Amino acid sequence: MPAGEPLWAHSFDTALGRCGVVWSERGIVASLLPDASPARLVRRHPTARLVDELPPHIAHAVDGIRALLAGEARDLGDIVLDERGIPEFRRQVHALTRAIPPGQTRTYGEIATALGQPGAARAVGRAEGDNPFPPIVPCHRVMGAGGEPTGFSAPGGVETKRRMLLIEARAVGQLAGDQQPLF
């Protein structure tokens, strides 16, 4: 991202806690999962101006994130990202991760194989761990080799990943008979 380019930020409440988005004129630069206080947004993106009024495409993104975290089966694939400055390999990982539908998962190895680099599971894991766009790029849907949730860098770690997967499983009807409370 060019130095001096204007950035804006907004934090908002969701079913999992306070989240946030940062954007440029080209698209979303970052999204933050729970614990996205205004102070945290400013620390991570010091040039961003905090705003309450949102352009329509950002309001759409915020509404989609809220709905997904509240238990709706939402596809956030139409949200425009500003991936300037992100290496090509990570962009490819993001694209494949965005293609995973709610209620489904893939392993780091499956993503690596889909990229034509079957030995790159750890590199995929690092790319997912550095994902600046959760849950727009749904890295919570990518598992370790045994299909178990591993390595989630958002606040709450793997437990947050499990909660997000449970929310999505219920939203797509995989747990229709399960009446345990979400929170």
Residue 183 has a pLDDT of 38
* pLDDT, mean of residues 3-8: 87
Give the active site residue among 16, 30, 139, 143.
Answer: 139
Residue 1 has a pLDDT of 61
19 is annotated as an active-site residue? no
pLDDT digit string, tens, across residues 60-86: 999 999 998 888 878 899 999 999 999
Question: What is the C-alpha separation between 92 and 125, in angstroms, rounded?
Answer: 13
pLDDT digit string, tens, across residues 17-60: 889 999 999 999 999 888 756 777 778 889 999 999 999 999 99
Question: What is the C-alpha separation between 16 and 102, in angstroms, rounded?
Answer: 17
Q: Which of 3.40.50.920, 3.30.160.70, 3.40.50.2020, 3.40.1080.20 is the CATH number of 7-70?
A: 3.30.160.70
Domains of the chain, by residue range, sit at 7-70, 88-171
Residue 153 has a pLDDT of 67
Q: Which of 2.60.40.420, 1.10.10.10, 1.10.620.20, 3.30.470.20 is the CATH number of 88-171?
A: 1.10.10.10
Question: How many other β-carbons are positioned within 10 Å of the β-carbon of residue 56?
Answer: 7
Q: Which residue has the tokens 């905090």?
A: 50
pLDDT digit string, tens, across residues 104-116: 889 999 999 999 9
pLDDT digit string, tens, across residues 85-136: 999 999 999 999 999 988 888 999 999 999 999 999 999 999 998 999 999 9
